[in-house]
Amino acid sequence: MRREHIRLFMRENLLTFLTIGGVILGIVFGMGLREVPAEGEKWSPRDVSYINFIGDTFLRMLKALILPLIITSLIAAVGSLDLSLSGKIGGRAVLYYVITTVMAVILGIVLVLLVKPGRGAEESNGDIGAKGEMRNVTTADTLLDLVRNMFPPNLVQACLQQYQTVLTPPKTNPDEPDLTLWTVGGKFSEGMNIIGLVVASIVFGIALSALKEDAQMVLKFFQQLSHTVMKITGWVIWLSPVGVLFLVTAKLLEMEDLGEVFGKLGLYFAVVAGGILFHGFVVLPLLFFLFTHKNPVQFVANMGQAIATAFGTSSSSATLPVTMQCLEEKNHIDPRVSRFVLPIGATINMDGTALYEAVAAIFIAQLRGLSLSFGNILAISITATAASIGAAGIPQAGLVTLVMVLDTVGLPAEDVSLIIAVDWLLDRFRTVVNVLGDSFGAAIVAHYSQNELTAIPVTEVTEKYQKNSLAYSAETVLFEERL
């Protein structure tokens, strides 16, 4: 009997074990292969690109799923709820996002003020030029761009590009330090405008639900499309163990001398990583337990694969298909909630990033010997929250929006180069916690919306969605009985 149990457990969680194994093997191979070239030499970028090939192919497949997944799941989920219920579910989700993001920021600020990693730390100059991403922008411009991107003028273009304010210095004084005196213009830059597509899909879903019977066919079309995309996701997910293995190995081979990097920024790294992990693996699980009375350890274990993929890809958007699959198939969250709140969460809710932005800005201020007033710290916490909302779910997006937080205390954009050396690794930790935060949020919202969801009459269209909702209630009862 016991053996039977173990076999069943292994079979059900095989992919999770394999994916986590992939990350561990990736670290082992990466560290081992770093030693292969002769002393002082490195793997050539060409060799690294060959090793990265399989990981990159896996990433391409995940990225290909983002667009169809976000659009179909949002339209299908919002369309199948009535207006007041989608308002309630959306409201609960946003409340959860705001509260947990602010909690993360406060935790980060307390830690960085207590540990003071910037005092006495040496400056390390990363190669900011190589990234070439640092723009001159003011906080107001960044926030306005976020709102502008919510309302894209052309939906086809939104699949490819997003709007960005561009500032140009006055002709008479090209070195003008005050950005508010620069000319304001705009351009479309490469990259999917996810927030615009999220807003457009929600509006479309609301319209479908307002039309009721008159739009049943369209709703059904999107629901079936959404199931189809999830089916494909289920296949792609089987590649994740190999995909993350190669992604992690290649990243480690690319890195400069690891010892040197951590020597200089060790304490800063420890504060950010410690804070992020504490928030994701202690604070959020506690909240989850308090609100739902469900077992958080089991919940996190069921998300194992999404966690490993987030670590491997550094992108919460690319991980979204996996997150959705784990949440629905393993944690049995009602798809009407997960498909509604997860795409929004993956775009705007980033606890890990928020904590990091606050710590990084204060760390740089400490390094520069700047003393911060209470007002400065308050300004940092507000902009860190906004910067995490504005950051896209792509690798190192947080580093780019950090410029906005630095701006509030008068630090120049170039100062991000001080922390760039460890950012690739911190990014992986933030992405893991960003994904976990979205998942806990979906579960808590589903718990509070359970009665309203089961009250919706079962129609042919909603039948499949109802099943998960019932499974979820049954599990909660079981767990509560055990308590």
- Identify which of residues 408 and 431 has a Cβ nearer to ligand ASP in the complex: 431
Those residues with Cβ within 8 angstroms of residue 447's Cβ, 6 or more apart along the chain or in another chain:
291, 292, 294, 476
Neighbours of 317 (CB within 10 A): 25
Cα 71 to Cα 196: distance, rounded to the nearest angstrom: 11
H-assigned helices in 349-458: 351-367, 374-390, 397-408, 420-455
Minimum distance from residue 398 beta carbon to ligand ASP (Å) = 3
Cα 429 to Cα 425: distance, rounded to the nearest angstrom: 7
Q: Which DSSP category does 192 fall into?
A: -
- Identify which of residues 66 and 75 has a Cβ nearer to ligand ASP in the complex: 66
Minimum distance from residue 374 beta carbon to ligand ASP (Å) = 26
Minimum distance from residue 316 beta carbon to ligand ASP (Å) = 4
- Identify which of residues 334 and 438 has a Cβ nearer to ligand ASP in the complex: 438
Cα 230 to Cα 325: distance, rounded to the nearest angstrom: 7
Cα 33 to Cα 321: distance, rounded to the nearest angstrom: 31
- Identify which of residues 204 and 311 has a Cβ nearer to ligand ASP in the complex: 311
Minimum distance from residue 356 beta carbon to ligand ASP (Å) = 6
Q: Please give the residue whose beta carbon sits closest to ligand ASP in the complex.
A: 398
- Identify which of residues 353 and 462 has a Cβ nearer to ligand ASP in the complex: 353
Amino acid at 164: Q
- Identify which of residues 336 and 428 has a Cβ nearer to ligand ASP in the complex: 428
Neighbours of 318 (CB within 10 A): 26
Angle at 404 between CA 166 and CA 350, to 5 degrees: 115
Place of tokens 């894209």: 152
Residue 341: which of 325, 324, 319, 326 has the closest Cα?
Answer: 324
The two tokens of residue 95 are 């409340």
What burial letters (b/e) apply to 256-289, b meaning 16+ CB within 10 Å? Answer: eeeeebbebbebbbebbbebbebbbbebbbebbe
- Identify which of residues 141 and 427 has a Cβ nearer to ligand ASP in the complex: 427
Minimum distance from residue 185 beta carbon to ligand ASP (Å) = 26
Cα 358 to Cα 103: distance, rounded to the nearest angstrom: 12
Under the rule (CB under 6 A), what is the footprint of ligand ASP? 314-316, 350, 353, 391, 393-398, 427, 430-431, 434
Whether the Cβ atoms of residue 435 and residue 141 lie closer than 8 Å to each other: no
Minimum distance from residue 171 beta carbon to ligand ASP (Å) = 35
Minimum distance from residue 350 beta carbon to ligand ASP (Å) = 5
Minimum distance from residue 58 beta carbon to ligand ASP (Å) = 16
- Identify which of residues 161 and 349 has a Cβ nearer to ligand ASP in the complex: 349
